[in-house]
Amino acid sequence: MEIRGTDTPRLDWSGDALAVGLFENALELTGDLTQLNEKLAGTLQELIDETEFKGSAGSIAVTRVGAGSSIRKIMVVGLGKPEALNLDTVRRATAAIARSAKQQKIKTLGISLPVVQDDPARTAQAIAEGIILTLHVDNRFKSEPEDKGAKLEQVELLGLGGQEAAINRTKMIADGVILARELVAAPANTVTPVSLAQTAQEIASQCGMTVEILEQEDCEKLGMGAFLGVAKASELPPKFIHLTYKPEGTPHRKVAIVGKGLTFDSGGLNIKGAGSGIETMKMDMGGAAATLGAAKAIGQLKPDVEVHFISAATENMISGRAMHPGDILTASNGKTIEVNNTDAEGRLTLADALVFAEKLGVDAIVDLATLTGACVIALGNDIAGMWGTDDTLATQLKAASESAGEKLWQMPMEEKYFEGMKSPIADMKNTGPRAGGSITAALFLKQFVKETPWVHLDIAGPVWADKEDGCNNAGATGFPVRTLVNWVLN
């Protein structure tokens, strides 16, 4: 499928289907749309009238145009209220167009949507994201796919001629999002700590990055007792992944992205019970998937920022070697942890990963983790929780997430709640009371970052979607690869 910008006026465009964006309650055809309607023998107006099209955001209607016309179908897509127009409106409108075009087996599609905030490059990016990400289908595990994907061969973005660079950048970002989706969607008997390390190595060789995989013995030497405590029960070797992107010139900043990489979370001896969603716990490497997805995008985009991509990858399993509830682990910064719940394993693996990241002397650390069910209870499935020790960094991530259309909500780092994590025998326990469970998890992580500006994103909700929404299809979303890329690039 080819996507390109064109300056061909919509009146002159020819192809299978032309999609035109219309604002809510501003459906009176004016200007070139009056001419387009005349050219189509009144079909555009009829479509609006007959479907009672109102222009609400994401709504869509399509009809056949009479023979002899230069287009076969005309689509109208709702943009909502003009004052609320933003990049996500355009991305969502495009998602609706892409789904309809797929259903209609369209081969050549023209999309005419307004330019947002006088920024044709970002508008072209949002539209291209809408197309590529909506149409991505994952048939890797189907012997005979029912959904064979879209027939689209060519998409032209009207009014966006000359935006090739933006469209190319979007392809690189989408590559990263799709990698993250496919890593999360793949089951735990396919995506393992070993395969994640291999994926990191592939990205490194494709994009000219360096990669270091620390084996169990290396982690032992570094004193990563928290990570290794979790890894103990698994039959699979743990892999500590450190992938580095260095720009050619002098980097203008140096950052680390750290992702929770539990390729399966059974809960350990505090095993997850029936109804706990244990069968969905292949997604517990969503942080690592987004980290590698961001690496794949950034390795192609080549910004002048040094980026370290880190994940302590393992599984949380049970066996005779499993860590016992009550065990005391010593993390690589010397702090001791009484494991009062083996199911709070993500924070144990992250503890050592954060200590490792800080030792690199970076200017900022962002971690991403499917850390707590409590965060999903607080914010639902669409919004990630954000905790931070640095307002500037939190503001940067908030801005990056807004233009990506990936939602974050800043949560309180309420120090007082750390009282609930006090242990009579060790420096801390790994879990506190049920109330405020996502906050105590963030406070736990904070014990492992001394002074580097740091933000933690709890992505347990948005890594997975139960149904399609915007450019997400049901299943793995690739959240928050686009936010991370925006953050690194800006």
Nearest to 22 by CA among 52, 60, 49: 60
At a CB cut-off of 8 Å and minimum separation 6, what does 278 contact? 265, 266, 267, 271, 272
Specify the pairing of strand 305-316 against strand 328-330. Answer: unpaired
Q: Which listed residue (81, 272, 335, 398) is catalytic?
A: 272
Residues 343 to 382 in contact with Mg ion, rule: CB under 5 A: 343, 345
Q: Determine the interface stretch with Mg ion among 285-293, 298-306, 341-349, 470-478 (rule: CB under 5 A).
A: 341-349
Q: To the nearest whole angstrom, how small is the minimum distance from the Cβ of residue 476 to ligand BES?
A: 12
Residue of 126, 158, 344, 351 that binds ligand BES (CB under 6 A): 344
315 lines the binding site for Zn ion (CB under 5 A): no
315 lines the binding site for Mg ion (CB under 5 A): no
Q: To the nearest whole angstrom, how small is the minimum distance from the Cβ of residue 373 to Zn ion?
A: 9
Give me the phi and psi of 188, to 5 degrees please: -70, -10
340 lines the binding site for ligand BES (CB under 6 A): no
41, 196 contact by CB (below 8 A)? no
**Binding flags for Zn ion, 390-429, as an x/- string (CB under 5 A):** ----------------------------------------
472-475: long-range contacts, CB 8 A cutoff, minimum separation 24? 472/133, 473/134, 473/136, 473/137, 475/138, 475/181, 475/185
| CA 319-320-322 angle, 5° bins | 65
First to last CA, the chain: 29
At a CB cut-off of 8 Å and minimum separation 6, what does 340 contact? 325, 326, 423, 429, 430, 431
88 lines the binding site for Mg ion (CB under 5 A): no
C-alpha–C-alpha distance, residues 250 and 303, integer Å: 11
Q: Is 296 a catalytic residue?
A: no
C-alpha–C-alpha distance, residues 177 and 260, integer Å: 17
265 lines the binding site for ligand BES (CB under 6 A): yes
**Binding flags for Mg ion, 256-295, as an x/- string (CB under 5 A):** ---------x------------------------------
340-378: burial string, b at 16+ Cβ within 10 Å, e else: bbbbbbbbbbbbbbbbbbbebebebbbbbbbbbebbbeb
Binder of residue 255, out of ligand BES, Zn ion, Mg ion, none (CB less than 5 to 8 A by kind): none
Closer to ligand BES by Cβ: residue 157 or 369: 369
Binder of residue 223, out of Zn ion, Mg ion, ligand BES, none (CB less than 5 to 8 A by kind): none
346 lines the binding site for ligand BES (CB under 6 A): yes
Q: Which listed residue (347, 429, 446, 482) is catalytic?
A: 347
Q: Is 272 a catalytic residue?
A: yes
Closer to ligand BES by Cβ: residue 88 or 265: 265
User: Which residues are catalytically annotated?
Assistant: 272, 347
Q: Which residues bind Mg ion (CB under 5 A)?
A: 265, 343, 345
Q: Which residues bind Zn ion (CB under 5 A)?
A: 262, 265, 284, 346
